[in-house]
Amino acid sequence: MIRRIATKEFTEILREGRFQVAAIITIALLLISVVISRSYYVAVNEQHAQARQVERALWLNQEAKNPHSAAHYGTYAFKPKYLLALLDPGVDKYTGISIYLEAHRRNEAQYMAAQDQTGLARFGDLTPDFILLFIIPLLIVLMGFNAFTREREQGTLALLKSQGVLPSNLAFGKWLGSYLAIVLLVVPVFIISAILLALVKDFGPFNIGALLLLLLVYLVYYAIFTGLTLTVSAGSKNSGVALVTMLAVWMVSVLGMPKVASNLADALYPYPTRQAFEAGVNDDKKRGLNGHEPWSEEAKALEKAVLVEYKVDSVQQLPFNFDGYLMQKGEEHDAEIYYKHYALLRQQFENQTNVYRLSAILSPFLPTRFLSMGIARSDYQTHWHFADAAEKYRVSMMDKLNMTFAKSTTYSAEARNWKADPSLWKQIPPFEYEPPTYATLLQQQTSNLLILLGWLGLSFLGLIYAAKKV
């Protein structure tokens, strides 16, 4: 019986001009957005590759100089882009694409794409995730709001009841027929996207498993909206009430709740301003070891401890240049300060993330949004991971340069004029970044997965209950 009802519902939906027009427009927008995103990311990826090559060449082609001067010259760490970011760019355009690595300072990612956009960008970009997250749920509402009310208005509901059709069979049959229409619309687009993604060169290996996981998340999301739409339809007196109610549900869950959650997180756990953050870092630096101030109390205390450790009477008797050693210790002290203050930022980020997770209980949009960005590796978690990896690389690079200077010279006035051979620059490997594994991703997204599945179960329970009340 469920199969027959589903077949009938599926056939009626496909024959409706409303669905045909909406499906054609939606598929066209999806394909156009995928093609546009692919072209954009291919161009951006080529620019990133060229920038990496140029920066590496500039680093390697430095003339002979003091290693600490090379540390101040610095280089760049470029954030890689991933294939699935073509489908969901997430926060990439707001987080920057590269980090300048230099001595004594941890810098933020810069050159954000959003900085180059006009004021019209606030209305949203035509990207696949916009269609998948916002438009298709609206299509589900427009397609299924009258699934039950139509039967009531046409008088066929009483006929179905007289034939002994169980409410649960009627509900699941209608749900399955409506849902299959959405699957028929979405799956081919993902197949085409997989082909287009697989043809993109120099983007790293294409992970079909990640794409299937992304598809599964969206299919669960659409299953929830299908269940909610049919629940409202079953509980409404007429089609007009059902349509208005579901449009309100769509607006609140898709448009309203993300903004409410964002404002609530900012109100409860605000980030410090850039000025306050920099002031805190600078205050800690002033009270600590500075590698360029050998006359400071902290530097004198370090000098005394080193002399005791090596059992000598002066820095001239040390087997290394104390100036280089002092600069490295100052670098390590600065790195600890940045670690401390960025840990505070990370804690605020985690607190805000917890607010979002709690808010996700009130809307299926939020867990889907976070899962989609996480799978596409275009979320804030991945960006934080990249920034931490870049900082680890910077600290390692500074250690190599400073300690080379310390070990290659002795403490003297002439030592500061010592220049390292350019072969030293080759000993520092280029920055390579490995993102978190998908196992780590799923562990981080456990709450969102559970909430999304909870919404799925709730939508089914609501549908069964509303169908029994028909």
Average pLDDT over residues 207-231: 93
Banded pLDDT at 426 (limits 50, 70, 90):
very high
The C-alpha angle 260, 264, 269, rounded to 5 degrees, equals: 155
| pLDDT at site 95 | 85
pTM for this predicted structure: 0.88
Task: Please list the residues that pair with 155 across neighbouring strands.
Answer: none
Give residue 115's pLDDT.
Answer: 59
Largest CA distance in the chain: 105
Q: How far apart are CA 173 and CA 102, in angstroms?
A: 63
pLDDT the model gives residue 41: 79
Domain that holds residue 424: 2-469
Closest alpha carbon to 136 in 221, 243, 198: 221
Each residue of 192-202: pLDDT tens digit?
888 877 777 66
C-beta of residue 388 within 8 angstroms of C-beta of residue 382:
no
Task: Give the span between the Cα atoms of 248 and 465, in whole angstroms.
Answer: 21
Residue 244 has what pLDDT?
93
Lowest-confidence region among 44-58, 70-84, 286-300, 382-396: 286-300
Number of domains in the chain: 1
Distance separating alpha carbons of residues 129 and 89, to the nearest angstrom:
8
Strand 75-78 to 105-106 pairing: unpaired
Amino acid at 274: R
Percent of the chain having pLDDT more than 90?
35
- Summarize the chain as % helix, strand, coil (round to 5): 75, 5, 20
Euclidean distance between CA atoms 215 and 203, whole angstroms: 20
pLDDT, tens digit, 9 for 90 and up, residues 429-462: 999 998 888 888 888 889 999 999 999 999 999 9
- Which tens digit of pLDDT belongs to each residue from 36-62? 888 887 788 888 888 889 999 999 999
Rg (CA), the chain: 30
Give the pLDDT band of residue 26 (cuts 50, 70, 90).
confident
Confidence check: pLDDT of 395 > 60:
yes
Mean pLDDT in residue range 161-183 = 82
* Closest alpha carbon to 2 in 189, 169, 142: 169
CB-based contact 203:45 (threshold 8 Å): yes
pLDDT band at 117 (very low <50, low <70, confident <90, very high): low
- Pair of tokens at residue 392: 């680890």
Taking Cα atoms as reference points, which of 246, 251, 224 lies closest to residue 235? Answer: 246
When mean pLDDT is compared across 83-97, 158-172, 277-291, 294-308, the lowest value belongs to 158-172
Most confident residue range from 127-131, 221-225, 324-328, 418-422: 221-225
Of 53-62, 149-158, 265-274, 430-439, the poorest mean pLDDT is in 149-158
Predicted confidence (pLDDT) at residue 113 exceeds the cutoff of 70: no
Average pLDDT over residues 183-199: 85
